[in-house]
Amino acid sequence: MTRTGTIYGVGLGPGAPDLMSVRADRIVRGARHIAYFHRSGRVGHARTIVEGLLHPEVSSIAMTYPVTTEIAVDTTDYNQALATFYDHTAAQLIALSQAGEDVVVLCEGDPLFYGSFMHLHVRVAPRARVEIVPGITGMSGCWTVIGEPVTWGDDVLTVIPGTLSESEIVRRLRDTDAAVIMKLGRNLPKVRAALSAAGLSDRAFYVERGTMPGETVMKLGDKADDMAPYFSMIIIHGHGRRPT
Amino acid sequence: MTRTGTIYGVGLGPGAPDLMSVRADRIVRGARHIAYFHRSGRVGHARTIVEGLLHPEVSSIAMTYPVTTEIAVDTTDYNQALATFYDHTAAQLIALSQAGEDVVVLCEGDPLFYGSFMHLHVRVAPRARVEIVPGITGMSGCWTVIGEPVTWGDDVLTVIPGTLSESEIVRRLRDTDAAVIMKLGRNLPKVRAALSAAGLSDRAFYVERGTMPGETVMKLGDKADDMAPYFSMIIIHGHGRRPT
């Protein structure tokens, strides 16, 4: 009987290759099959991070997102296109594992924290052996390159997707000690307005490509334009209880 | 002129030694001076994680917390004792760096996320070269060993210290998609009551020593006692928008 393979969901961390875990590094270097998400026409962060670590004979499954901006999100068409895509890629991974092959899914950041891997995970977990390796989140990478403690003592941290409505972001910002705003992209003007309404513009840091070449770290107020990649972030530091 | 040393704040991750980053592993193995926090009579998690990695001639600064439960927190005495302790240890690290020595402060999890290192950081950063290496947070370790995605799509994640009042925890739980409750310890009965009031008891997972030997993962409802170490955690998973 053929040995069944394992599907690994491996967190690669915030971007610098040496910020992946020792375990992830070992699994990636030993992989004979890798799979990674990317947008059409782009290599993808995950694949970029492991450049130079891969076995010369590794085989790759490039999982190309079927939709980008052509279809409006929140429509049935969008959800259906994505669901079909995840079904199809999950079936590929399951077939590999049933043939006795291990396959390593490369995941930016931490696989179970706002990651595309989760959509595969719910599909493959009932039918294959899955092993997940956590990673340093993108937000940890970002607050580290700013170089200031993000949460102290009894601080509450709220992680807010920039995709929420402006009023919802304002409400959340007014009711937290520390905040991370993810998924900026074209949401930046709205997020700026929310920060201003919450009186937090002066405390907001903007980080782009944190820990990677081309990294940008600045006070949001110093950022002249509203161009922001989807994976850029805003950090608001807490000032919680501390011995003085 | 003597070369000035660097004070490293190195995140060791959630507990399993191979979940520290490649960069942390390299810095820890190369260290000639390490420093770590611990409670009197205990080795401390941080020092335990690096067991077997250290240079045989490494010199250690064991930073022993001056207070545990003898003085009530939130009192002036408590804060003063801690502040004096941090002043003293920061001075030791600065003296080493001024003598040209690098020193590696071992930090559980991520140094800038609810860590004792932050109290040193604010004291040494104005007077010495500091380099911080992020780590996989304890909460990432905990949701990974549960094995379920914690945040999807537009989910809001709230990180709540178990030290907050019951009513405050209830309010926060009612207003979030996903939650992590940290710093359980003797706060567990209060946290249980808050989860019940928020109607979330059935969705709460309890994790103790996540990724480490002796790891415990269970539905909170299956936990018969209220014994919980300070570093145990409760996770409530989000169910955000996803293609179906």
Distance CA A184, CA A160 (A): 10
Q: With contacts defined as CB-CB under 8 Å, which chain B residues touch A16?
A: 23
What's the gap in Å between the CA of A167 and the closest CA on chain B? 14
Asked if residue A221 has pLDDT above 90, the reply is yes
Both structure tokens of A82: 């994505």
Judge whether B6-136 and B139-236 match in fold. Answer: no
Q: What is the pLDDT of residue B1?
A: 56
Over residues A125-134, the pLDDT tens digits come to 999 999 999 9
Closest CA to B150 of B210, B213, B224: B210
Distance CA A56, CA A52 (A): 9
Over residues B120-155, the pLDDT tens digits come to 999 999 999 999 999 999 999 999 999 999 999 899
Distance CA B106, CA B83 (A): 20
Taking an 8 Å cut-off on Cβ atoms, the answer to whether B164 and A156 are in contact is yes
Both structure tokens of A192: 């700026």
Closest CA to B174 of B152, B150, B158: B158
Taking an 8 Å cut-off on Cβ atoms, the answer to whether B115 and A150 are in contact is no
Distance CA B151, CA B136 (A): 16
Q: Do strands A178-182 and B204-208 pair parallel, antiparallel, or not at all (unpaired)?
A: unpaired
pLDDT band for position A240 (50/70/90)?
Answer: confident
Asked if residue A78 has pLDDT above 90, the reply is no
Residues B210 and B141: beta-carbon distance below 8 Å: yes
Measured between CA atoms, the residue of chain B closest to residue A20 is B21
Asked if residue B175 has pLDDT above 70, the reply is yes
CB-neighbour burial class of residue B161 (10 A; exposed 0-12, middle 13-18, buried 19+): buried
Q: What is the pLDDT of residue A241?
A: 61
| Domain layout of chain B by residue ranges | 6-136, 139-236
pTM for the whole structure: 0.95
Chain B interface, mutation test: which of A114, A155, A174, A187, most B Cβ atoms within 10 Å?
A114
CA-only gyration radius of chain A, Å = 19
- Average pLDDT on A37-52 reads 92
Contacts of B206 (CB under 8 A, 6+ apart): B216, B217, B218, B219, B220, B223, B228, B232, B233, B234
Torsion angle defined by CA atoms of residues A62, A66, A69 and A72, in that order, rounded to the nearest 10 degrees: -150
Over residues A94-107, the pLDDT tens digits come to 999 999 999 999 99
- Mean pLDDT for chain B? 93
Q: What is the pLDDT of residue B189?
A: 97
Asked if residue B219 has pLDDT above 80, the reply is yes
Over residues B44-75, the pLDDT tens digits come to 899 999 999 999 999 999 999 887 655 556 67
- What fold does the segment set B6-136 form as a domain? Cobalt-precorrin-4 Transmethylase; domain 1 (3.40.1010)
Distance CA A69, CA A89 (A): 21
Q: With contacts defined as CB-CB under 8 Å, which chain A residues touch B141?
A: 134
Q: With contacts defined as CB-CB under 8 Å, which chain A residues touch B140?
A: 11, 110, 112-113, 134-137
Over residues A155-200, the pLDDT tens digits come to 999 999 999 999 999 999 999 999 999 999 999 999 999 999 999 9
Give me the amino acid identity at B198.
A
- Mean pLDDT for chain A? 93
pLDDT band for position B43 (50/70/90)?
Answer: confident
Q: With contacts defined as CB-CB under 8 Å, which chain B residues touch A30?
A: none
User: If one looks up domain A139-236 in CATH, what number appears?
Assistant: 3.30.950.10
- Give the C-alpha distances (Å, rounded to integers) separating A182 from A26, A73, A159, A186, A211: 29, 17, 7, 12, 16
- Which DSSP letter does residue B5 get? P
SS3 state at B157: strand
Contacts of B103 (CB under 8 A, 6+ apart): B5, B6, B7, B8, B31, B33, B34, B35, B61, B93, B96, B97
Distance CA B244, CA B238 (A): 16
